[in-house]
Amino acid sequence: MRQWRARCVRTLAASAVLLGAAGFGGQPAAVAAAASSCPLPSGGQLQGIDVSSLNHPGDAPIDWPQVASCGYRFAFVKVSEGSYYVNSYYQADLAGAEDAGLLAAPYQFAIPNYSGGTLQADYAVNNADLQPNGMTLPLTVDLEPDPYVSQDHTNECYGLSAAKMVSWIRAFVTEAARRTGQLPIIYTTAAWWNKCTDRSEAFAADPLWVAQYGVSQPALPAGWAGYAYWQYSATATVTGIENQADADYFNDAAMQLAVPATQSDATGSTVQLNVGSLNAAAGQQLSYTAAGLPSGLAINPSTGVISGQLGSSPATAQVTVTATAAGGPAGSVSFGWQVHGPVTLASVPNQASTAGAPARLQLQAADGLPGCSLTFTAAGLPPGLSVSSCGLITGWLQAPGNSAVTVSVADSSGAVLGTTTFSWHVGAADRTGQPAGQVRLNTAGKCLDQLSAGRAGIWRCDHRAGERWRIGQDGTLRIGGRCLSAPASGTGSAVTLANCDGSTAQQWQPGSGATLASVRAGRCLAAAASRNGAAVQLA
């Protein structure tokens, strides 16, 4: 089902053998026919797919408009695994699915014996770049048999006791809910869950995405009375996707709402927001109610459209919309609504910095409300810098030069409410460098070493001359008048020593987990092997 680390790729069907789980082998003809789906089979259930980088053979893109034309209404997209891998296709796939009209959700493949649940939740959220845009469903945590048993020599439960597994899941769920405001969806199988958590019932409040193939109804893990999503096939043929994909049903006895963006509108303005388009229960007759609306607004109970004219005073509101289907299932979603006054964007003094240095500059705008109520954009920033939607400019300055920066601020209507300009001078850095001594790599206790004039590698840490590195103010690693230089290509490419030229190929910066990351390639420094003299490369 998933793409794991490059050293091991295996289907969930094969993993399930570890548990002796039924239903993951061959499918009955009726189910197999249902999985060959464009057009979708009849039956009325809302259907979706889930994808990872495995669905891009030969770098082939997914044609999301074709997927949507088949009738699929939602998609799960792998964002990350453990706290070491990010799916390079995630951003394009999530945006492509949502642009094609599908509700979408990122999922994190959990590796509970690699790092803690809190860290992996943060890693997923940080890389998911979640935008409450009315099309994104909650984050999902994928819990299934350990695909690396042959490498980590544990078992299908990652070598964790049931108590430790439950503690890990609780940490992930708590942090994900804190960061996103929504309980994450839990993906699992009944067999894995009941074995590895000892039938824990502690997470019944989380929406369940259950996997089981070749059955008329899936077996449920302990604690859940029903599922929100059911992965019923791993062999769906979908127009727009080069190879087979996983296919899923949405339970029409459940309700899942996407979170709309925080609304920010001027006092006295006329607004219209269709919350009725945010549900994953299309086709049902729904009725809507709303609590906490700003003064002057009301919701249409039949369509879910919120409209009206806002009042004249700045105010903040927390709105909760509830959708109820005929027959009982209901779902709620909460979001903020900020009613701002006239906007004043503060001027920014001209900036002067040095190449290779970090930058941090907070922009300011007053609109009668506290906190981040407006959206900032910036054009013309020096290379290496970016601006957050709340106006924080950060990054590492990559090269000397002069930039003319234009900052704009807007609300959710998209109208520009203020602009300001300033210059940013980036001077050349001192390239002499400060003594750093040894640079240790976590490979059998080895150190980065100048093996020859043009070659870097690893050697035992013995304080030899080839291990006496200097760190330049421009972010370079220097030794003997030469600089550690990254190639343009990606993972597996050898790192060399070259004449220092101040380019981004020779700039390095700290990454997560005490790594050194190449500014040019966006990859980390690693050893090709653990023996003395092994090359260093990008990974």
Euclidean distance between CA atoms 313 and 267, whole angstroms: 6
| Rg (alpha carbons) of the chain, rounded to whole number | 26
Question: What are the two backbone dihedrals, phi and then psi, of residue 409, each rounded to the nearest 5 degrees?
Answer: -135, 140
Task: Give the chain's count of helices (H) and strands (E).
Answer: 8, 37
Euclidean distance between CA atoms 474 and 450, whole angstroms: 20
Task: From 241, 240, 217, select the one nearest 230 (Cα to Cα).
Answer: 217
Listing DSSP states for 426-481 in one string gives EEPPP-S-EEEE--EETTTTEEEEEEETTEEEEEE-S--GGG-EEE-TTS-EEETT
Token digits for 286?
């729904």
Euclidean distance between CA atoms 466 and 524, whole angstroms: 21
DSSP 278: G
DSSP 9: -
Euclidean distance between CA atoms 539 and 521, whole angstroms: 10
Residue with tokens 């060959």: 36
Euclidean distance between CA atoms 221 and 231, whole angstroms: 14
Task: From 133, 139, 374, select the one nearest 260 (Cα to Cα).
Answer: 133
Beta partners for residue 236, in sequence order: 245
User: How many residues would you count in the chain?
Assistant: 539
Euclidean distance between CA atoms 427 and 18, whole angstroms: 59
Task: From 37, 50, 1, select the one nearest 250 (Cα to Cα).
Answer: 50
HEC string for 283-334: CCCEEEEEECCCCCEEECCCCCEEEEECCCCCEEEEEEEEEEECCCCEEEEE
Active site residues: 50, 142, 144
- CB atoms under 10 Å from CB of 77, counted, come to 27
Task: From 98, 104, 87, select the one nearest 50 (Cα to Cα).
Answer: 104
DSSP 45: -
Token digits for 65?
């408009």
Beta partners for residue 288, in sequence order: 323
End-to-end CA distance of the chain: 24
